[in-house]
């Protein structure tokens, strides 16, 4: 790949990642729907809100295997599948008439789809910019956060004008289109050469290898407690 083609591809991947992350971040508007879903299903708000707990669990699980999925199928296919499953999850949520269906659709399915798309597109984009990892991570993660803000206004307006069920359908359609569009123009990052620092060779770890390291569990506990304090207040 020539230098000009490389530059064009990496910046296009960044733009597409930002679009995709914005759509994926929309799941954090979930609290807007707790009251309406509670009234529709005749269930306590606490049981409806449990969907978001399942979503978070699904997100964590799929994030852990996103790298393996990319190695086997490529970033484009996995991200497209993520968008399609996310849209399907919202569509099924619109037609949920009991708590179990709500938990499986809005919780498990949406969480698995969102987690795979989030971490996969983020890590792939960062690899395109080995000298600017911090800046590129900020762009991508910031877009994920802005998605919850932007879709808060979109979903609020939809709830007021078209009602609960149609809001989920339209929301899912918007997210699906944005993610699939972004995925079509993404490219897998080229493999980076192994670098050395002060004579020490850098090494990447597989998930299984990482889980045997105490640092993995220290980070896991740190992120668990930090996310709990931020999401469940």
pLDDT of residue 166: 96
pLDDT of residue 213: 83
CATH superfamily of 3-192: MFS general substrate transporter like domains (1.20.1250.20)
pLDDT of residue 21: 95
pLDDT of residue 101: 96
pLDDT of residue 109: 96
pLDDT of residue 197: 53
> What secondary structure letter does DSSP report for 191?
P
pLDDT of residue 64: 80
Q: What residues contact 55, with CB distance under 8 A and at least 6 apart?
A: 27, 30, 106, 107, 108, 110, 111, 114
Query: How far does the chain reach from its first CA to its final CA, in angstroms?
Result: 48
Whole-angstrom Cα distance, residue 177 to residue 171? 10
pLDDT of residue 231: 59
Query: Could you state, in order of their start, the residue ranges of all structural domains in the chain?
Result: 3-192, 196-233
- Which residues of the chain fall short of a pLDDT of 70? 1-2, 192-204, 207, 224, 226-233
pLDDT of residue 133: 86
């Amino acid at each position: 790949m020539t230098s000009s083609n490389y530059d064009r591809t990496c910046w296009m991947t960044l733009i597409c990642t930002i679009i995709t992350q914005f759509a994926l971040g929309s799941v954090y508007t979930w609290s807007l729907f707790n009251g309406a879903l509670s009234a529709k299903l005749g269930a306590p708000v606490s049981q409806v809100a449990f969907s978001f707990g399942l979503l978070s669990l699904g997100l964590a699980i799929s994030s852990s295997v996103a790298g393996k999925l990319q190695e086997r199928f490529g970033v484009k296919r996995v991200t497209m599948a993520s968008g399609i499953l996310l849209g399907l999850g919202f569509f099924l949520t619109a037609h949920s008439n009991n708590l179990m269906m709500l938990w499986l659709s809005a919780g498990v399915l949406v969480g698995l789809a969102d987690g795979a798309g989030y971490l996969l597109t983020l890590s792939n984009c960062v690899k395109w910019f080995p000298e600017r990892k911090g800046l590129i991570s900020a762009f991508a993660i910031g877009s994920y956060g802005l998605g919850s803000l932007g879709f808060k206004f979109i979903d609020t307006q939809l709830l007021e004008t078209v009602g609960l069920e149609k809001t989920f359908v339209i929301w899912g359609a918007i997210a699906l289109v944005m993610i699939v569009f972004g995925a079509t123009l993404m490219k897998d990052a080229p493999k980076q050469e192994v670098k050395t620092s002060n004579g020490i060779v850098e090494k990447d770890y597989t998930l299984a290898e990482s889980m045997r390291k105490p640092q993995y569990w220290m980070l896991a506990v740190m992120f668990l407690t930090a996310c709990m304090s931020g999401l469940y207040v």
